[in-house]
Structure 1
Amino acid sequence: MEPYLLRDEELNELVVKIPGWEIKTKQIKREFNFSSFIEAFAFMTKVALICEKYNHHPYWENVYTKVIIKFNTHDLGGITNLDQTLASEINKICHQ
């Protein structure tokens, strides 16, 4: 998949296309909370496999039961179709 920067209209539609994600100027972000560290880590493992599939990796943090994921495409300087795709894939495996 060749990444391209999303246009303003596409960025405005992200709220509907990737619910739960916070749309910022140059990144998308979402916080996930789980009932245990094991659940959080299992989720991160699933996300890691998705990211490897697309060869696009997040900035993320994990503290105990909380996982924060941020995406942007540094090479292009903003939010791309690839970031949107990964957020959609993560939403499919998330039960929140």
Structure 2
Amino acid sequence: MKKLTEQEIEENIKDLQYWDLEEGMLVTSLDFKNFADAFAMMTRIAFEAEANNHHPDWSNVYNNLTIRLTTHDAGGLTDKDFYLARRIEDIINGD
């Protein structure tokens, strides 16, 4: 998988609602009503990540879920990261 150029990253991130670029990764931080809701979202995202064989770096503290996407094998962001970010946004938005 090819690492994206800065220009490709800038073009792709424009279409994302919840994501920022931090330290070369796509990052989002989401707050939920409670821990159970945060964990339920993690479970839904986990199934999507597994189906795409692309797994986020993430952390959960009570009602907060922080997700970081990068392609370690490529040494940066790839199309796989942006695809998964879009799928996660679909899940968040109930699509």
- Structure 1 residue 25 displacement after superposition: 4.3
Letter in 1 for 2:25: Q
Letter in 2 for 1:53: A
- Structure 1 residue 81 displacement after superposition: 0.3
Q: Quote the sequence identity (%).
A: 35
Q: 1:10 aligns with which of 8, 14, 18?
A: 8
- Structure 1 residue 15 displacement after superposition: 2.9
For 1:65, the equivalent position in structure 2 comes to 63
Q: 2:37 aligns with which of 27, 36, 39?
A: 39
Which piece of structure 1 moves more, 52-61 or 14-23?
14-23
Structure 2: gaps of 5 or more residues: none
User: How many positions carry a matched residue from both structures?
Assistant: 93
The two structures have a TM-score, normalised by structure 2, of 0.90
Structure 2 counterpart SS, 1:60: strand
1:52 aligns with 2:18: no
The two structures have a TM-score, normalised by structure 1, of 0.90
Q: What whole-Å deviation, never above 9, does each CA across 1:36-61 have from its counterpart, x for those lacking one?
A: 11110110000000000111111100
Letter in 2 for 1:94: I
Q: 1:27 aligns with which of 12, 25, 28?
A: 25
Structure 1: gaps of 5 or more residues: none
C-alpha distance in structure 1 between counterparts of 2:6 and 2:43, whole Å = 32
Task: Kindly report the root-mean-square deviation, in angstroms, between the aligned alpha carbons of the 2 structures.
Answer: 1.2
